Amino acid sequence: MTLFLPCLAAAAQDWTYRVRPGDTLWDLGGRYLKPSISWHQLQAHNTVGDPYQLPPGRVLKFPIAWLRVEPAPARVLAVRGEVQVSGPSSTSRTVSTGMQLPIGSQISTGADASVTLAFADDSHLLLRENSQLLLDQLSTYGATGMVDTRLRLQRGRSSNRVTPARGPASRYIITAPTATSSVRGTVFRVSAGGGQSVASTEVVEGRVQVDNRGGRQMVDPGRATLSRSAELAPSPSQALLPAPAFDEARTRIAALPLLAGWQPVAGAAGYRVEVVRADAPDVLLFARDLADTRVVIDALPAGALRLLVRAVDADGVEGLDGNRDFLLPDGPEPPLTLSPQHGQTLHQLRPRFEWAQVAQADGSVVQVASEPLFLQPLVEQTTRSTHLRTADSLPAGDYFWRVASVDAQGTRGRFGQALPLSLSDAPVDPQLQPAPEGRQLTLRWQAAAEASRYRVQVSRNADFERLLLDAEVDAPEASLKRPLRGGTLYVRVQTIAGDGYAGPFSAPQQVKLPCPLCYGAGAGALLLLLAL
């Protein structure tokens, strides 16, 4: 749908210029007029006596139709994901930052992609995911500052930030399949509709005129109009859904992964979450459509950023933004984790963690939590080493742990992946089997991943006050001379980590010795299999 009336009105108007010291009609004609228009025509149009002696401050009128028109390609400010462009005589190619896109360019974005365009008057358009845009008209009226930008949104959504008009010929027009939106300086969004969404124009700042063959609607800030077909007039404007209120208990934006939660909005069928640069809100860094009232964002670039959340109604109309500015420091990368391994069970209630050294890191921060979002970490300890044991014991159970690097200035980088971990204080479950080892009694137990050596104790009594054996061994086994009299022995084992940390002793286990009359060379000894 093309908007004719504003164009015709602009063509019938004059652009005005206020004379500056030293101006002449000859100079002004060469600067602003088409080559086919003589400065003499400008002299007659303004009834100027001396074309070389123009009084400063005098207002001259230039008919719009006489002004020089020059092409003004769009410039690509930012690209996220896969974006393609094609033209009338060119094959499709990948869009990159800094490219100049001329009239006739057709831009297509992928499923998780966006592109930001800048036009000659510094108006910006953000083309969102799964969208297609045709650049219909991109021109400037010489050096007047007036820009003619006409776009065709064929599919998807765009967000627009339009510079206020600098003259009667300034235009910014977006044509969608069912209506045309024209503005002279505002912030608004346009949807082409399709699927479950209805074509819409949503105004954040300023006013937008929406036209089609069925009629016209002027939309004020904070309101939207729907265009269900090109033949039906745009609907009366409706209020945008209010901005969601952030839930502080579920929001943490000082470090990655970023967590944000918000209160449900009445009338919302879903929510749109975006992260943009705080100094360039048209540069999209992250985007997601959600049914839930929370989001977790694992990766973002460092810098001053802005989180945007808005409610979306059943027609796909997006509401006002709830926003939070935050600073994400450019700290060192998270280290590779070494131990415990993913999902490992430790028989220690003060677990020990180990990770690789990052070149730019001067220290590390370890966190342990009972849930993977780390809303309330149970442990947060800092060290300049690449290993750490928790200062206090934790109850047996399931946990998650992660580690971040810290540089020499104390700037903490993002945390690495949260890894599951289980701590157990369950008693060991030994098994006894006969083993032909003569007069030696050999005790063997299951190796513990976190142990570098073991301490084993053997006693006649369950209180272990008088010991037959108290030894540290490197392997998960120990031997002692078989006692001369039969009866019951009690055995317990303790794991010792590489840093000297000694875990709790296992629960005492019993070894039944045969009677002395059964002894003899070649008689069966007992092998203790002790599972730690």
Most confident of 144-153, 192-201, 438-447, 497-506: 144-153
Tens of pLDDT, residue by residue over 481-529, are: 877 677 788 888 888 887 788 888 887 877 777 655 444 433 344 444 4
The domain limits of the chain are: 5-66, 248-328, 337-423, 431-530
For the domain spanning 248-328, the CATH number is 2.60.40.10
User: 10 Å Cβ neighbour count for 84?
Assistant: 17
Using one digit for the tens of pLDDT, what is the confidence trace for 108-133?
A: 999 999 999 999 999 999 999 999 99
| CATH classification (class only), 431-530 | mainly beta
pLDDT at 197: 85
**3-class DSSP state of 171:** strand
Tell me what the mean pLDDT of segment 358-374 comes to.
Answer: 90
- Residue 271 to residues 94, 265, 311, 488, Cα–Cα distance (Å): 30, 9, 5, 69
d(CA 283, CA 116) in angstroms, rounded, equals: 6
pLDDT tops 60 at residue 434: no
Choice among 145-159, 284-298, 348-362 with the minimum mean pLDDT: 348-362
Smallest Cα–Cα separation from 298: which of 353, 373, 235, 204? 373
Please give the helix or strand (H or E) that residue 39 lies within, else none.
helix 39-46
Token code pair at residue 354: 């180990």
User: What is the band of 1 on the pLDDT scale with cuts at 50, 70, 90?
Assistant: very low
- pLDDT, tens only, 451-469: 788 899 989 898 999 898 9
- Average pLDDT of the residues of the chain: 87
Share of the chain above pLDDT 70, in %: 91
CB atoms within 10 A of CB 298: 12
* Global pTM exceeds 0.85: no
**What is residue 9's predicted lDDT score, i.e. its pLDDT?**
44
Render pLDDT for 204-249 as a digit per residue (tens, 0 to 9).
999 999 999 999 999 999 999 999 999 999 999 999 999 999 999 8
Q: Is 493 exposed, middle or buried (0-12, 13-18, 19+ CB in 10 A)?
A: buried
pLDDT digits over 319-365, tens only? 999 999 998 888 888 888 888 888 888 888 999 998 888 888 899 99
- Strand intervals (E) in 329-371: 337-339, 344-346, 352-355, 363-369
Q: Which CATH architecture has domain 337-423?
A: Sandwich (2.60)
Q: What is the CA radius of gyration of the chain?
A: 38
Distances (CA, A) of 377 to 406, 418, 501: 18, 12, 23
Fold match flag (5-66 vs 337-423): no
pLDDT tens figures, 249-287: 899 887 778 899 999 999 999 999 999 999 999 999 999
**β-bridge partners, 310:** 272
Residue type, 109: T
What is the rounded distance in angstroms from the CA atom of residue 155 to the CA atom of residue 162?
A: 20
Query: Looking at residue 515, what is its pLDDT?
Result: 58
Q: Looking up tokens 């930052």, which residue turns up?
A: 97
pLDDT of residue 12: 53
What's the one-letter identity of residue 117?
L
- Are 128 and 156 spatial neighbours (Cβ–Cβ below 8 Å)? yes
When the candidates are 3.10.350.10, 3.40.640.10, 3.30.9.10, 3.40.50.720, the CATH number that belongs to 5-66 is 3.10.350.10
Q: Is pLDDT above 60 for 58?
A: yes
For the record, the structure tokens of 273 come out as 């979450």
Percent of the chain with pLDDT over 90: 62
Mean pLDDT of 276-299: 93
pLDDT-wise least confident of 13-17, 90-94, 345-349, 482-486: 482-486
Looking up tokens 């008057």 gives: 121
Which of 250-259, 391-400, 407-416, 487-496 has maximum average pLDDT?
391-400
Asked if 71 and 148 touch (Cβ cutoff 8 Å), the reply is no
What was the pLDDT predicted at 61? Answer: 95
Query: Angle at the Cα of 425 (from 419 to 428), degrees rounded to 5?
Result: 115
pLDDT at 439: 67
